[in-house]
């Protein structure tokens, strides 16, 4: 009973500070996940401190400027001026926080094994500064068991106990960059704690800023939720990419097939083929799940197969470029290729894991001169060196031997592309019947 009373006492104090609006919120990692979350807490009236190792980010944020497309500079400026948002390199200030959100990257190693080194580094910063009553929440996408099997032992190393002295939970981020309809506040927040009191504490935290909080039974369930969501997308995209390749061999228009199938009011959800997967989540998260499955002696064959299909799509695009050039009696070597779009999806500036980068690298290795045009990404450091984007003009389109529509930004004038490009590889069905001759699709 003593343990329960101690836990309830700390829990009551935490809940009280949250309800009064006096709780201090710390966010470790101010990237695509951390900064929008920090801004939401700031807008709700809480004092938020962002912890970073990037000096440039700290200086930019404290000057009232945003570097994340989904968080307007106006919003950051107002929060900084009101004293509700600031960034620091000083991790000693973690001692002052009532809640600490860990929002750091979780990439894959080249062997497709999880790289949780950023999580470990963040937790090691917390350990010597951990105090009673604090809530620690891991938001970084990771394999099931990370919170309880990795994070918890590190935090408990000095004698504190999760659920008694401090609270520990996992809540998967669900950010969709560039989505104007669904953003941090109105995306339901799944939460799972290491104990019932931990779940209650993390629910209290997010109910202050999120429209709907969805508690689940454990951290492992919460961790698996995010992986299932993105594995679902990866597998279905892999399926439709394979169907696209199959339809190409049989001379069938896969886009018309999908459009017609989507008229069924039940039992079908349309997914669309493309040049490959991009972003930090869908190309990465399924392999966290398959890696954990292997540790349990289970082979996740759907996940691995989808990864192979999706991973090969950039090379398929490169082959289509070769076919398009052959139609002009040109070879890839020495050809001028213009990529339209290097962001991983339309209308954003995020190039993480973008298939355009693989397409560019493959064509450059084959001797092509590759340039790109992307109004959201004026400068790109990749492959053989830095690239500066070309202006989107008729002259730029005409100068290319082949134009590749890799990202269907709305700002591109597709009528202009259809009129001035000699040969086009349309990876997104962006032209939609504007022109047939000289257009090669997936």
CATH of the domain at 30: 3.40.50.720
- Listed residues 227, 242, 268: the one ending a domain: 227
Please give the structure tokens belonging to residue 320.
């289509």
Please give the structure tokens belonging to residue 380.
């790109």
> Does 242 map to a domain?
no
- Listed residues 227, 242, 267: the one ending a domain: 227
Q: Enumerate the active-site residues.
A: 281
286 and 178 in a single domain? The answer is no
What is each CA distance from 388 to 146, 342, 347, 351, 398, in whole angstroms? 40, 12, 18, 14, 18
383 and 328 in a single domain? The answer is yes
| Long-range CB contacts for residues 326-335, cutoff 8 Å, separation at least 24 | 327/423, 327/438, 327/440, 328/401, 328/422, 328/423, 330/401, 332/363, 332/366, 332/367, 332/368, 333/366, 333/367, 333/368, 334/367, 334/368, 334/369, 335/368, 335/369, 335/401, 335/402
> Does 432 map to a domain?
yes
213 and 328 in a single domain? The answer is no
> Does 36 map to a domain?
yes
197 and 53 in a single domain? The answer is yes
> Does 410 map to a domain?
yes
**Helical H segments across 114-195, by residue range:** 117-126, 146, 152-155
> Does 243 map to a domain?
no
Cα radius of gyration rounded to whole Å, the chain: 24
41 and 143 in a single domain? The answer is yes
Q: What pLDDT shows up at residue 77?
A: 98
pLDDT in tens, 191-217: 999 999 999 999 999 999 999 999 999
Q: What pLDDT shows up at residue 62?
A: 98
Q: What pLDDT shows up at residue 7?
A: 67
Identify the domain containing residue 16 by its residue range.
2-227
> Does 13 map to a domain?
yes
Q: How many domains is the chain partitioned into structurally?
A: 2
Spans of the chain, pLDDT less than 50: 1-5, 384
78 and 142 in a single domain? The answer is yes
113 and 219 in a single domain? The answer is yes
279 and 387 in a single domain? The answer is yes
143 and 273 in a single domain? The answer is no
> Does 321 map to a domain?
yes
Q: What pLDDT shows up at residue 6?
A: 53
218 and 277 in a single domain? The answer is no
The residues with which 439 forms a beta bridge, in sequence order, are: 424
36 and 177 in a single domain? The answer is yes
> Does 248 map to a domain?
no
174 and 302 in a single domain? The answer is no
φ, ψ dihedrals at 370, nearest 5°: -105, 125
Tokens 């997914």 belong to residue: 271
* 8 A C-beta contact, residue 400 and residue 422: yes
Please give the structure tokens belonging to residue 205.
């935290």
Q: What pLDDT shows up at residue 330?
A: 96
């Amino acid at each position: 009973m003593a343990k329960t009373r101690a836990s309830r006492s700390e829990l009551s104090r935490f809940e009280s500070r949250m309800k009064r609006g006096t709780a201090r919120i710390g966010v470790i990692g101010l990237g695509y996940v951390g900064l929008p979350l920090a801004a939401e807490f700031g807008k709700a009236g809480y004092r938020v401190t962002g912890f970073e190792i990037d000096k440039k980010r700290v200086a930019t944020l404290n000057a009232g400027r945003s570097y994340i497309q989904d968080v307007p500079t106006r919003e950051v400026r107002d929060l900084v001026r009101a004293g509700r948002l600031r960034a620091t390199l000083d991790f000693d200030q973690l001692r002052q926080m009532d809640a600490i959100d860990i929002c750091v990257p979780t990439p894959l190693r080249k062997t497709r094994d999880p790289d949780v080194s950023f999580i470990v580094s963040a937790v090691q910063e917390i350990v010597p500064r951990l105090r009673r009553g604090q809530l620690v929440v891991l938001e970084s996408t990771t394999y099931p068991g990370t919170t309880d099997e990795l994070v918890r032992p590190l935090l408990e190393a000095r004698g504190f106990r999760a659920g008694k002295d401090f609270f520990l939970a996992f809540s998967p981020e669900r950010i969709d960059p560039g989505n104007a309809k669904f953003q941090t506040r109105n995306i339901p927040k799944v939460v799972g704690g290491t104990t019932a009191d931990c779940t209650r504490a993390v629910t209290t935290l997010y109910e202050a800023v999120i429209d709907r909080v969805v508690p689940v039974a454990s951290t492992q369930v919460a961790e698996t939720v995010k992986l299932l969501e993105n594995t679902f997308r990866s597998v279905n995209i892999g399926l439709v990419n394979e169907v696209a390749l199959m339809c190409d061999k049989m001379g069938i228009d896969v886009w018309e097939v999908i459009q017609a199938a989507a008229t069924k009011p039940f039992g079908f959800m349309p997914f669309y083929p493309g040049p490959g997967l991009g972003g930090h989540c869908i190309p990465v998260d399924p392999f966290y799940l398959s890696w954990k499955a292997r540790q349990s002696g289970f082979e996740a064959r759907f996940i691995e197969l989808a990864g192979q299909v999706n991973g090969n799509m950039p090379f398929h695009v490169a082959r289509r470029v070769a076919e398009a050039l052959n139609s002009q009696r040109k070879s890839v070597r020495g050809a001028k290729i213009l990529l339209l779009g290097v962001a991983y999806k339309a209308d954003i500036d995020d190039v993480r894991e973008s298939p355009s980068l693989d397409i560019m690298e493959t064509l450059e290795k084959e001797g092509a001169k590759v340039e790109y045009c992307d109004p959201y990404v004026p400068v790109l450091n990749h492959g053989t060196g830095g690239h500066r984007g070309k202006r989107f003009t008729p002259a730029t389109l005409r100068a290319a031997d082949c134009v590749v529509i890799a990202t269907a930004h709305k700002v591109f004038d597709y009528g202009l592309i259809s009129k001035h490009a000699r040969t086009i590889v349309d990876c997104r069905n962006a032209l939609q019947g504007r022109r047939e001759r000289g257009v090669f699709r997936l």
